[in-house]
Structure 1
Amino acid sequence: MSRDEQQSPANWTYLMDMDGVLVHEEHLVPGADEFLAELQAAGTPFVVLTNNSIRTPRDLRARLVRSGLDIPEKSIWTSALATATFLDNQRPGGSAYVVGESGLTTALHEIGYVLTDNDPDYVVLGETRTYSFEAITTAIRLVERGARFIATNPDATGPSRDGSLPATGAVAALITRATGRDPYYVGKPNPLMMRSALRAIGAHSENTLMIGDRMDTDVVSGLEAGLQTILVLTGISTRQSVEMFPYRPTLVLNSVADLVGRTQNPFGGN
């Protein structure tokens, strides 16, 4: 099969990052609403991905609605949901000590996990707006006693109006330094994040593409999951920075607005 044939299946499924692709903080990326409206009008399956584990899909949907995007809960896949799916497959009905917020605790409750600090199977580290020294200390001691160490994603910092905030990856590094134990990261750039999202909607990698704004997370995880990839320049990576990486996206676009009118044939003419 030729490269052009591989890029032209009859029906595409879209995976896309949220921040930097559809929104910046609370602000809509211009054209993102038209892009999603075209997908919805055509009945094209899509899932919005985020490494953020703080919010539930319901909370994220409300945030997106305020930004001008009406996306159903079932079309939002978080690193918390991917982590819960992973744990449910690995050790059904297990227990965990969680450092995180409602997005993560709700996802674990929904798979029947017991949340406890009494000899848990796992320490699960997610993102929170205010990391507690006491909670981190408890996590360190539980990992030292043999709890398996899981983290929702390796992102070292997250954005805020006042600048960067320490995120999951930074706190995971602290726990690793204290215990000598590395976490297993479930979210991007682990391709497991994409695969679990595909399974959740019954899609297949052969006719799925990934849209992201970061070469080092979105594009590489899409490639490793066997997807076609589109880098948009509305977030972190620039056109110049693409040349720094040993891998390339299938396509580079200024923004998702460039896909309006061509969502059924995104690679046509390229």
Structure 2
Amino acid sequence: MKNHYKGYLIDLDGTIYLGKEVIPAGKRFVERLQELKRPFLFVTNNTTKTPEAVADRLAKEFDIHVSAKTVYTASLATIDYMKEQRKGNRVYVIGESGLTELILSAGFEWDEEKPDYVVVGLDTDIKYEKLATATLCIRNGATFIGTNPDKSIPTERGLLPGAGSFISLIQTATQADPIMIGKPNAIIMNEALKVMKMNKEDVIMVGDNYETDSQSGLQNGIDSLLVLSGFTAKSVVSSLPEQPTYVVDSLDEWTF
């Protein structure tokens, strides 16, 4: 399976690791890219950690050594989007440090009364009052932003609630549709291409989730490689409404 791609956009959860366990073929895939000096960028919907924390985790837990500059999260894409809109800098966030710290360090100000934006991501310490505050702010006119649509996230325990589950709850409570940033939406993919300094035809999107990773390619004119190591099961591939460019059981099958 030889290819012409100059750069790789790569998912993390379910592709390189699964919860707290490394996926050996994923680790080897990254190491082969490094050996070949082939540019790659981890494009992840995970907003719970900063790029520096992601790179640190990859090194300490999985013995995968990369620069934080190779990590582009939905948090960074959210910040880039809000800056481009220039609608104000007041924000209320449901999320963890990888989202809130980055947003505040980018110059946005916390506001629980009349924010310009309400950003909703994954929050494993979710409380009813957070949801209530977000609901009231959106009903009072704040722009509703969802970091990513992942309703579930793959872990060693199985599939657990993701950011999309919280976003759906707020959407139901407010009857407002969110602006969605993360995969498979165009916002994060276009920003990732800018970071890579490459065109769509130069790259391929690699990931385990058909609904986000593969659709990132299918919806945005980018080739995709679906690896059956996480979210999407092999049993459903034949019934997918539109096939990814490539499907493999393991990233070991991919030839550069």
Same fold (TM over 0.5): yes
Change (3 A) 1:222 1:241: same
Alignment of 1:182-221 (within 5 A): 182-221=177-216
Query: Where does the alignment leave 5 or more consecutive residues of structure 1 unmatched?
Result: 1-6, 264-270
Q: TM-score, normalised by structure 2?
A: 0.92
Residue equivalent to 1:3 = none
Alignment of 1:47-196 (within 5 A): 47-65=41-59, 66-91=61-86, 94-159=89-154, 164-196=159-191
One-letter identity of the residue aligned with 1:128: D
Query: Where does the alignment leave 5 or more consecutive residues of structure 2 unmatched?
Result: none
- Does the alignment pair 1:40 with 2:27? no
Q: 1:13 aligns with which of 1, 4, 7?
A: 7
Residue equivalent to 1:222 = 217
| CA positional deviation for 1:167 | 2.7
CA distance in 2, matches of 1:18, 1:76: 10
Change (3 A) 1:147 1:92: closer
Change (3 A) 1:159 1:249: closer
Asked whether the 8 Å contact 2:224–2:245 carries over to 1, the reply is yes
CA distance in 2, matches of 1:45, 1:247: 28
Residue equivalent to 1:249 = 244
- Does the alignment pair 1:238 with 2:240? no
Aligned-CA RMSD value: 1.9
Change (3 A) 1:252 1:166: closer
| CA positional deviation for 1:92 | 6.5
Query: What are the Cα deviations for residues 113-156 of structure 1, in whole angstroms up to 9, with x where unaligned?
Result: 11221311111111111102111111111111111100101222
SS at match of 1:252: strand
One-letter identity of the residue aligned with 1:58: E
Q: TM-score, normalised by structure 1?
A: 0.87
The aligned length equals 254
CA distance in 1, matches of 2:50, 2:220: 24
